[in-house]
Amino acid sequence: MATQHSRSAARVMISPAVLLLLAWMLIPLGMTLYFSFQRYNLLMPGAHPWVGLMNYKLFIQNPAFWTALINTLLLVGGVLIATVVLGVLLAILLDQPMWGQGIVRILVIAPFFVMPTVSALVWKNLFMNPVNGLFAWLLPKLGMAPYDFLTQAPLASITFIVSWQWLPFATLILLTAIQSLDSEQMEAAEMDGASALSRFWYITLPHLSRAITVVVLIQTIFLLSVFAEILVTTNGGPGNASTNLTYLVYARSLLNFDVGGGSAGGVIAIILANIVAIFLMRAIGKNLDA
């Protein structure tokens, strides 16, 4: 397949995608970089004086930055852990023989189709609202004190909402992976005297590792830029308790209309995202080859 002809054809064929993405990355990125060195507030037209690294300095010195950084990691990590752990358990459950498996699958998959804005609105208003939400009614019934989720545990609540949206994705991939496990391997383990738990631990889980990496990679890409859920539910608050980097950049550039500061934040967010990306790519690159 590797003739000169096909190689040059390949180059031609791949170039539209590469060029478009390159443009998509470089042009806005270049502009962002350019703006990040200016004092540029949308509300104050006129000259945009060059201010060097001041925007970066202000962005990093802002205590909200560190909170946002930690929140970002907590949110991504929390959702990943929740979806992978629950996803594995759920996938195993769904793999068991049962009645109405198809319907259960449909029920489980549904949250994946819900727009983030809608799901945030629904959770915030119909469920987590401390006065009118369903939880406000349910908790006292269960003998618990009413709890104001979005105020008292804003980040955890958002993590929960986002996990709900992504659990189907994880479950589905893991379920397919489980179903692809060679049944002879399971039988061999059984003949080898492994209990159900040992089989899960020594056979199923390692078999899933590749699927888990894919889940982690894809979800991370989307989770790093979680935004709508925060905007709709808590606006990043109270305080900065649920502000992630994306939201912080949003707040700077679109609530304060400080394009310079926002751009600096954007550049920082891009750098951080790429650090995470490199880590992940390394890991997954290895796992995808194996």
Partner 1 sequence: MARAVTPQRKAINTIAAWIIGLLIFFPILWTILTSFKTEAAAVAFPPQFLNFDWTFENYTTVQERSSYFRHFWNSVVISLGSTVIGLIIAVPAAWAMAFVPGKQTKNVLMWMLSTKMLPPVGVLIPIYLLFRQFGLLDTRTGLVIVLTLMNLPIIVWMLYTYFREIPVDILEAARMDGASLRKEIIYILTPMAVPGIASTLLLNVILSWNEAFWTLNLTAAKAAPLTAFIASYSSPEGLFYAKLSAASTMAIAPILILGWFSQKQLVRGLTFGAVK
Partner 2 sequence: QTLTIATVNNGDMIRMQGLTDDFTSEHPDIQLEWVTLEENVLRQRVTTDIATNGGQYDVITIGNYEVPIWANQQWLAPLEDMPEDYDADDLLPAIAGGLSVDGTLYAAPFYGESAMVMYRTDLAEEAGIDMPDQPTWTDVMAAAEAFNDPDNGTYGICLRGKAGWGENMAFITAMSNSYGARWFDMDWQPQFDSPEWTATLSDYLNMMENYGPPGAANNGFNENLALFQQGRCGIWIDATVAASFVTDPDESTVADNVGFAQFPNKDGVDNHGNWLWSWNLAIPSSSGNVEAAKQFVAWATSKGYTDLVAAEEGWRAAPPGTRTSLYENAEYQDAAPFAAMTLESIDAVDTNAPSVQEIPYTGAQFVSIPEFQGIGTAVGQAFSAALAGQMDAEAALSQAQQITTQEMTASGYIE
Partner 3 sequence: MGRITLDKVTKRFGDAEVIPPLDLTIEDGEFVVFVGPSGCGKSTLLRLIAGLEDVSGGEIRIDGTAATELPPAKRGLAMVFQSYALYPHMSVRKNIAFPMKMAGMPKEEQERRIDNAAKVLNLTDYLDRRPGQLSGGQRQRVAIGRAIVREPAAFLFDEPLSNLDAALRVGMRLEISELHNRLETTMIYVTHDQVEAMTMADKIVVLRAGKIEQVGTPLELYRTPRNKFVAGFIGSPTMNLIEGPEAQAMDAHTIGIRPEHLDVSSTDGRWRGTVGVAEHLGSDTFFHVHDTGLAEMITVRADGEVQLRHGDTVYLTPQDGKLHRFDEQGLRIA
Q: Which of 288, 130, 143, 135 is nearest to 218 (CA)?
A: 288
**Between residue 188 and residue 217, which ones bind partner 3 under the rule CB under 8 A?**
188-195, 198, 202-203, 206-207, 209
154/212 Cα distance (integer angstroms): 27
213/236 Cα distance (integer angstroms): 29
155 vs 170 by CB, closer to partner 2: 155
Q: List the single partner that 58 binds among partner 2, partner 1, partner 3, none, CB under 5 to 8 Å by kind.
A: partner 2
Cβ 289 to partner 3 shortest distance, Å: 11
C-alpha 149: how far from its chain's center?
Answer: 21
Is 73 in contact with 66 (CB distance < 8 Å)?
Answer: no
Count of residues in the chain: 290
**Between residue 21 and residue 60, which ones bind partner 3 under the rule CB under 8 A?**
none
Cβ 175 to partner 1 shortest distance, Å: 8
Residue 195: left (phi > 0), alpha (psi -120 to 50), or beta? beta
12 vs 43 by CB, closer to partner 2: 43
176 vs 182 by CB, closer to partner 3: 182
168 vs 262 by CB, closer to partner 2: 262
The CA distances from residue 234 to 83, 96, 213, 247, in Å, are 22, 39, 31, 11
Q: Is 182 in the site for partner 3 (CB under 8 A)?
A: yes
The CA distances from residue 253 to 40, 223, 232, 240, 271, in Å, are 10, 20, 18, 16, 18
Cβ 159 to partner 2 shortest distance, Å: 17
> Six-digit token pair at 124?
């915030």
290/286 Cα distance (integer angstroms): 6
Is 227 in contact with 246 (CB distance < 8 Å)?
Answer: yes
Cβ 212 to partner 3 shortest distance, Å: 13
Cβ 263 to partner 2 shortest distance, Å: 14
25 vs 70 by CB, closer to partner 1: 25
Q: List the single partner that 256 binds among partner 1, partner 2, partner 3, none, CB under 5 to 8 Å by kind.
A: partner 2
> Six-digit token pair at 188?
């061999």
Is 259 in contact with 42 (CB distance < 8 Å)?
Answer: yes
Q: List the single partner that 277 binds among partner 2, partner 1, partner 3, none, CB under 5 to 8 Å by kind.
A: partner 1
What residues make contact with partner 2 under the rule CB under 8 A?
39, 41-45, 54, 58, 62, 129-132, 136, 146, 148, 150-152, 154, 233-241, 251-252, 254-258
156 vs 273 by CB, closer to partner 1: 273
Q: Which residues of the chain form contacts with partner 3 (CB under 8 A)?
A: 1-5, 182, 184-185, 187-195, 198, 202-203, 206-207, 209, 290
